[in-house]
Amino acid sequence: MTVAARGASSTSGGPLLRLPLRQGAKPPTGPGPTGLTLHVPCVHEYIPCVIFLWSQFRIFREFSDAPLFKFWIGTLPCVFLFHAENVETVLTNAVHMEKSYAYTFLHPWLGTGLLTSTGPKWRQRRKMLTPTFHFSILTEFLEVMNEQAEILVEKLEKQAGKGPFNCFNHITLCALDIICETAMGKKIHAQSNSDSEYVKSVYKMSDIISRRQRTPWFWPNFVYNYFGDGREHDRTLKVLHSFTNKVIHERSEKMSHIESDNDSDNGTKRRKAFLDMLLMTTDEDGNRMNNQEIQEEVDTFMFEGHDTTAASMNWVVHLLGAHPEAHSRVQQELQEVFGTSNRPANIEDLKKLKYLECVIKEALRLFPSVPFFARNIGEDCHINGFKVPKGANAIVLTYALHRDRRYFPEPEEFRPERFLPENAVGRPPYAYIPFSAGLRNCIGQRFALMEEKVVLAAILRNFSVEACQKREDLRPLGELILRPEKGIIIQLEKRILSN
């Protein structure tokens, strides 16, 4: 692979692959030699290699001063964006609101829900769903989060004092249990039954989609269905949709009975789920969502709402285990808030965990759960003086954006204090966007932060953590979610709290 300045010749010793434009597509252009073009001698190397290189941060370290990169995926012109001012140009313009071509591979699973829809449908759906993420409603999910965090602590107690182990799956299954019960009102007991067909299918589908996104020769449906994972994709999809369909029908029927009984079930207050609110939500004309529309959003919550949060919590555990001073400061804060009690966390507690919140934000800076996302350029535009044509894909490299030395000096250092209010003054809002930003920012970011505080507080109130990997051993892989190649290896010691 060769990275060359515009107009420079290849240094690889071989001819570059010249790809034709898609019909009507034009290459990104711009003045001067500083805009960089990524030339790839072999298209079959392209996607896996680029994602790996960027997730390892090799190219950005060398060319971080370049305003942007342009490159090709097959016949699709693309640009990498990794500076706040360039990212803001795209994310604040409604013309560029449509997600990129790669998101179409999510459509069979998620339909055109909030993540994948665009235009009037997205605007209407966002308006309908925003009230369901109101803070007062999110507090109702706190009980579920505390219960599942308690189960996680019981599982981790079996590992405490017994040497190194991989905590990644433990934390991920906890997050999956939380999202299933809060999104669907359905307990799947993933922490005690990780072999369930639905649990396996959630992970399998994410892997299948990620592989297809990275292999453009499988983008055509005909090729994918006959030579790729098409059949496995359809089998997995059937499991996922059957499960959520069944839950929606059961919940709908139960709701109709309970509504006539003053929202109680056998005399006890019934927990609400996002699904309940979707079943009751109406548009401006008073029309309710149909089952297919509800399924799109439930599946979207399941996809977006557990893997991202789980990855973030795992990165926090590693970083605290590798930085004893920050670890001690978090535990001191927890001691001040909870004392020696083992009571569950409440909303007031979470508000007081300010340093833990800084730790979570710094972990999301270093290891953003979504390392990159992409938009379709809706009209010819200029980004930092470079003309980018309509139809190109703008790929926002969160992983690189968060390492801009102008706003994060010594960017590879773990410094939670960066996010104390006094230290964030003057930092552009688009320099740090772990939940995206602008018109399509993540609707569930407050839910995610709440969940992370609850689960991490439960872990750190009960255990002291020691990381068993160096930073260079983590080898983060930039797929749909930024994950460590071989998990998060830690040691735990049970904490003995005294009055």
Domain-located, residue 233: yes
Encode pLDDT of 32-91 as tens digits. Answer: 334 444 433 333 334 444 444 444 455 555 556 667 777 776 677 888 888 999 999 999
Encode pLDDT of 361-414 as tens digits. Answer: 999 999 999 888 889 999 999 888 888 899 999 989 898 899 999 999 999 999
Tokens 């997205």 -> residue: 122
Q: What is the pLDDT of residue 379?
A: 92
Indicate which CATH number applies to the domain containing 282.
1.10.630.10
CB neighbours of 161 closer than 8 A, spacing ≥ 6? 492, 493, 494
Domain-located, residue 499: no
What is the rounded CA–CA span in Å between residue 374 and residue 82? 12
Tokens 């972990």 -> residue: 363
User: In this structure, are residues 304 and 440 in contact, taking their beta carbons and an 8 Å threshold?
Assistant: no
Encode pLDDT of 266-294 as tens digits. Answer: 544 667 788 888 888 877 777 888 888 89
When divided into structural domains, the chain yields a total of 1
Radius of gyration of the chain (CA): 23
User: In this structure, are residues 109 and 237 in contact, taking their beta carbons and an 8 Å threshold?
Assistant: yes
Domain-located, residue 283: yes
Q: What is the pLDDT of residue 59?
A: 54
Encode pLDDT of 320-329 as tens digits. Answer: 999 999 999 9
Give me the domain span that covers residue 42: 2-494
**6-15, 146-155, 430-439: least confident range:** 6-15
Show the 3-state SS of the chain: CEEEECCCCCCCCCCCCCCCCCCCCCCCECCCCCCEEEECCCHHHHHHHHHHHHHHCHHHHHHCCCCCEEEEECCEEEEEECCHHHHHHHHCCHHHCCECHHHHHHHHHHCCCCCCCCHHHHHHHHHHHHHHHCHHHHHHHHHHHHHHHHHHHHHHHCCCCCCCEECHHHHHHHHHHHHHHHHHCCCCCCCCCCCCHHHHHHHHHHHHHHHHHCCHHHCCHHHHHHHCCHHHHHHHHHHHHHHHHHHHHHHHHHHHHHHCCCCEECCEECCCCHHHHHHHCECCCCCECCHHHHHHHHHHHHHHHHHHHHHHHHHHHHHHHHCHHHHHHHHHHHHHHHCCCCCCCCHHHHHHCHHHHHHHHHHHHHCCCCCCEEEECCCCEEECCEEECCCCEEEECHHHHCCCCCCCCCCCCCCHHHHCHHHCCCCCHHHCCECECHHHCCCCHHHHHHHHHHHHHHHHHHEEEEECCCHHHHCEEECCCEEECCCCEEEEEECCCCC
Q: Answer whether residue 206 shows pLDDT above 50.
A: yes
Domain-located, residue 472: yes
Q: Which two tokens stand for residue 175?
A: 């997050």
Q: What is the pLDDT of residue 259?
A: 55
User: In this structure, are residues 389 and 26 in contact, taking their beta carbons and an 8 Å threshold?
Assistant: yes
Domain-located, residue 385: yes
- Nearest residue to 145 via CA among 119, 123, 171, 163: 171
Q: Which two tokens stand for residue 273?
A: 């789920």
Q: What is the pLDDT of residue 279?
A: 87
User: Per the annotation, does 442 bind a ligand?
Assistant: yes
What is the rounded CA–CA span in Å between residue 202 and residue 468? 29
Beta strand pairing call for 264-265 and 476-478: unpaired
Q: Answer whether residue 449 shows pLDDT above 90.
A: yes
Encode pLDDT of 331-345 as tens digits. Answer: 999 999 999 899 999
**43-52, 102-111, 189-198, 471-480: least confident range:** 43-52
Encode pLDDT of 218-236 as tens digits. Answer: 989 999 999 999 999 999 9
Q: What is the pLDDT of residue 269?
A: 60
Using pLDDT thresholds of 50, 70 and 90, give the confidence band for residue 454: very high
